[in-house]
């Protein structure tokens, strides 16, 4: 990231995110109670440290790096630069934005997706059995890891179920205020589905984000944020010298049907009013 791009990233971070208010997660799953289920329903999220043990988090990092370095990847990989420009293994790694559809590609990642402690929390939050709907790893390299603007996950078609999904975002590196931890707007899921626009990404309109209510959610490696599929959330640019790698899974109630294309457009594309961002 060159100087002007860094300035632009820092300007977006300053305009769209707050860094003076951080949520304190539960120390472990042993602290998770029915009161936190009620908190989730009211606030749209709950954060818990230690959902993956240190060796499990390290195994997931190794698995993601193995998939990235494989000349014939067994998962899907999204790069930020043309692969022909990537001369070294490090350049290749640092150009990866996302790795996905990996659950059946590596046992460590499969184990994380179907981790019994994670599954138990998800089913408590859903109030019914869960099925895995999506798996991905989200990477922010140092000195330029990109922003994921504010959005609702169910605005992405593959997650547009008739019932709310639960997202589980798991830090593999320490995710802090300086390297792109998750930010949320507590209670925003209660406002329902909101229109999304193709601006910096598929996102909520910047003007419609309650930045004044933003709460950051720093996590240690293995810590997890469980969040409602309609919660407003995003992650700022990483302009630090540190990597920020995370797993993200989505779970839907089982069974659960998808929204029809017409209903999806009505909810997330605002075609009824032709509103613009």
What is the structure's pLDDT at 255? 85
Mean pLDDT throughout 51-79? 96
* Residue 247: C-alpha distances to residues 151, 184, 223, 236 (Å): 18, 17, 11, 17
Mean pLDDT throughout 226-250? 98
Of the pLDDT bands very low, low, confident and very high (cuts 50, 70, 90), residue 83 is confident
Of the pLDDT bands very low, low, confident and very high (cuts 50, 70, 90), residue 5 is confident
* CA 45 – CA 3 distance, rounded (Å): 36
Query: What torsion do the CA atoms of 43, 15, 179, 106 make, to the nearest 10 degrees?
Result: 60
What is the structure's pLDDT at 110? 98
Mean pLDDT throughout 115-133? 98
**CA 151 to centroid of chain Cα atoms:** 10
Question: What is the SS3 assignment for 35-89?
Answer: HHHHHHHHHCEEEECCCCCHHHHHHHHHHHHHHHHCCCCCCEEEECCCHHHCCCH
Nearest to 170 by CA among 67, 48, 62, 24: 48
Nearest to 194 by CA among 211, 183, 208, 184: 208
Tokens of residue 145, six digits? 């890891």
In this structure, how many other beta carbons lie within 10 angstroms of the beta carbon of residue 265?
A: 13
What is the structure's pLDDT at 273? 67
Mean pLDDT throughout 241-270? 94
What is the structure's pLDDT at 176? 98
Per the CB < 8 A criterion, the answer to whether 186 and 45 are in contact is yes
Percent helix, strand, coil in the chain (nearest 5)? Answer: 35, 25, 40
Question: Which three-class secondary structure state does DSSP give residue 102?
Answer: coil
* CA 233 – CA 204 distance, rounded (Å): 10
H-only helix segments in 72-222: 89-94, 107-113, 116-126
Residues 6 or more apart from 11 whose CB is under 8 A from it? none
In the predicted structure, residue 2 carries a pLDDT above the cut 70: no
What is the structure's pLDDT at 275? 75
* CA 254 – CA 182 distance, rounded (Å): 27
Round the average pLDDT of the chain to a whole number and report it: 95
Of the pLDDT bands very low, low, confident and very high (cuts 50, 70, 90), residue 270 is confident
Share of the chain above pLDDT 70, in %: 98
In the predicted structure, residue 3 carries a pLDDT above the cut 70: no
Mean pLDDT throughout 256-268? 92
Q: What angle do CA 203, 253, 147 make, to 5 degrees?
A: 20
Of the pLDDT bands very low, low, confident and very high (cuts 50, 70, 90), residue 71 is confident
In the predicted structure, residue 271 carries a pLDDT above the cut 90: no
Task: Output the pTM of the full model.
Answer: 0.96
What is the structure's pLDDT at 35? 98
* Residue 158: C-alpha distances to residues 132, 167, 181, 260 (Å): 12, 13, 24, 12
Q: What are 142-188's pLDDT values in tens digits?
A: 998 999 999 999 999 999 999 999 999 999 999 999 999 999 999 99
What is the structure's pLDDT at 90? 87
Give, to the nearest 10 degrees, the angle between helix 116-126 and helix 34-43: 60
Q: What are 87-101's pLDDT values in tens digits?
A: 888 889 899 999 999
């Amino acid at each position: 990231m060159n100087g002007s791009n860094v300035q632009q990233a820092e300007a977006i971070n300053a305009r769209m995110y707050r860094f003076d208010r951080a949520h304190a997660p539960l120390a472990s799953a042993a602290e998770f109670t029915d009161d936190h289920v009620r908190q989730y329903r009211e606030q749209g999220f709950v954060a818990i440290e230690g959902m993956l043990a240190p060796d499990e988090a390290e195994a997931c990092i190794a698995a993601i790096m193995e998939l990235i370095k494989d000349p014939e990847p067994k998962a899907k990989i999204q790069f930020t630069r043309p692969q022909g420009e990537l001369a070294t293994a490090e350049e290749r790694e640092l150009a990866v934005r996302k790795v996905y559809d990996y659950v059946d590609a590596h046992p460590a990642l499969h184990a994380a997706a179907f981790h019994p402690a994670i599954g138990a929390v998800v089913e408590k939050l859903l109030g019914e059995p869960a099925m895995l709907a999506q798996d991905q790893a989200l990477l922010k390299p140092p000195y330029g890891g990109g922003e994921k603007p504010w959005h609702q996950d169910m605005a992405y078609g593959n997650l547009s179920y008739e019932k709310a999904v639960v997202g589980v975002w798991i830090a593999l590196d320490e995710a802090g205020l300086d390297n792109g931890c998750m930010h949320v707007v507590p209670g925003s899921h209660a406002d329902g589905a909101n229109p999304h626009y193709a601006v910096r990404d598929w996102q909520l309109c910047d003007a419609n984000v309650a930045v004044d209510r933003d709460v950051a959610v720093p996590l240690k490696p293995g810590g997890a944020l469980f969040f409602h599929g309609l919660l407003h959330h995003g992650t700022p640019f990483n302009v630090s010298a540190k990597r920020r790698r995370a797993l993200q899974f989505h779970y839907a109630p089982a069974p659960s049907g998808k929204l029809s294309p017409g209903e999806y457009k009505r909810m997330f594309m605002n075609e009824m009013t032709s509103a613009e961002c």
